[in-house]
Chains A and B, each alone.
Chain A
Amino acid sequence: MKSAVVVFPGSNCDRDLAVALAQVTGRDPVMLWHRENEIPQGTDIIAVPGGFSYGDYLRSGAMAARSPVMRAVAEAASRGVAVLGICNGFQILTEAGLLPGALMRNAGLSFVCRDVKLSVGTSQSIFTSRYEEGETVTFPVAHHDGNYTADPETLDRLEGEGRVAFRYAEQVNGSARSIAGVLNDAGNVLGMMPHPERVIEAAHGKTDGLRLFEGLVETVTA
């Protein structure tokens, strides 16, 4: 089981993600600098971390989405490699066109940094197999641009195809249909604003996020 964490100038959740992946895979992930052109052969999971890549210039995630490493990530995703984007990573995946929609400024205009309740939208994905559909979990969020937007047809399709992985169970940022995380059509790419990697051990106060990483390793290995 090989995993990799992409690192951009301004990423700040890369080490948290590395700790989470090391814990569930039993080995340290490869840290991939944004200038890399290739994903190491045999990589099973690629994580795109939170932070403020390139200072959020132009739009959150816009510059990172056009970096050399993201072309390699897109190529790996098209081969079926699991790609998990969290927070800024979600913004980058939408900007790169790997996920539909866009993340706009929070409806309340404020940076939101707190624990939020989420409802699991589907257990039928490689990322959410260890959760029950409709189950409530608590993950922290920390973002300014988490207001998920897509045209109504896209939103209908996401809901109809079971591609809403997580929804906010409370008002957070004005996201369309309370969407907190979405899957691509093949189901191997997940983007989400909340941070599962920040709730994986007892010392964090909660461990709701651990099952995401455990489930991912289990399904990818199977």
Chain B
Amino acid sequence: MKTRVYVTLKGGVLDPQGKAIHNALEGLGFSGVNDVRAGKLIELDLADNVGEADVDAMCRKLLANTVIENYRIERA
């Protein structure tokens, strides 16, 4: 089963990469971009017996650093 894990920086955490992307977009003439936050998408191909709790544990133990990142699990 395909499962997607979205890893994003927590709200209060400054995102230097997002800021650089924002600046580059403005440099290209795209106006109206209020903010940019960059994150990661991790795609997992899982056996049927792998449950939601297992994926949550994967996120907490490795895929996200919960000091600075949030994660969201999306099962296909």
Q: Decide yes or no whether B16 CB sits under 8 A from chain A.
A: yes
For A62-83 the 0/1 string (1 means CB < 8 A from B) is: 1000100000000000000000
Q: Using a CB-CB cutoff of 8 Å, which residues 38-76 of chain B contact chain A?
A: 61-63, 65, 67-68
Residues in chain A near residue B33, CB distance under 8 A:
none
Interface size for B (C-beta < 8 A) is 11
Cα distance, A95 to B65, chains bound together (Å)? 7
Q: Decide yes or no whether A136 CB sits under 8 A from chain B.
A: no
Q: Decide yes or no whether A113 CB sits under 8 A from chain B.
A: no
- Tell me if A58 and B13 are in contact (CB < 8 A): no
Q: Decide yes or no whether A109 CB sits under 8 A from chain B.
A: yes
Given contacts A107-B14, A109-B17, contact A62 B65 (CB under 8 A): yes
Interface size for A (C-beta < 8 A) is 19
Q: Decide yes or no whether B1 CB sits under 8 A from chain A.
A: no
Partner of B20, one of A101, A109, A174: A109
- Tell me if B62 and A58 are in contact (CB < 8 A): yes
Residues in chain B near residue A102, CB distance under 8 A:
65, 67-68
Cα distance, A104 to B13, chains bound together (Å)? 10
Given contacts A58-B62, A62-B62, A66-B62, contact A150 B67 (CB under 8 A): yes
Cα distance, A150 to B12, chains bound together (Å)? 11
Chain B: minimal CB distance from A105 (Å): 5
Residues in chain A near residue B62, CB distance under 8 A:
58, 62, 66
- Tell me if A174 and B67 are in contact (CB < 8 A): no
Q: Decide yes or no whether A59 CB sits under 8 A from chain B.
A: yes
Partner of B13, one of A66, A100, A108, A149: A149
Partner of A104, one of B16, B20, B61, B63: B16
Cα distance, A66 to B13, chains bound together (Å)? 24
- Tell me if A147 and B16 are in contact (CB < 8 A): yes
Q: Decide yes or no whether A11 CB sits under 8 A from chain B.
A: no
**Residues of A near any B CB (own CB < 8 A):** 58-59, 62, 66, 94-95, 100-102, 104-109, 147, 149-150, 174
What are 15 A-B residue pairs whose CB atoms fall within 8 Å in the complex?
A59-B65, A62-B65, A66-B61, A66-B62, A95-B65, A102-B67, A104-B13, A105-B16, A107-B14, A109-B16, A109-B17, A149-B14, A149-B67, A150-B67, A174-B14
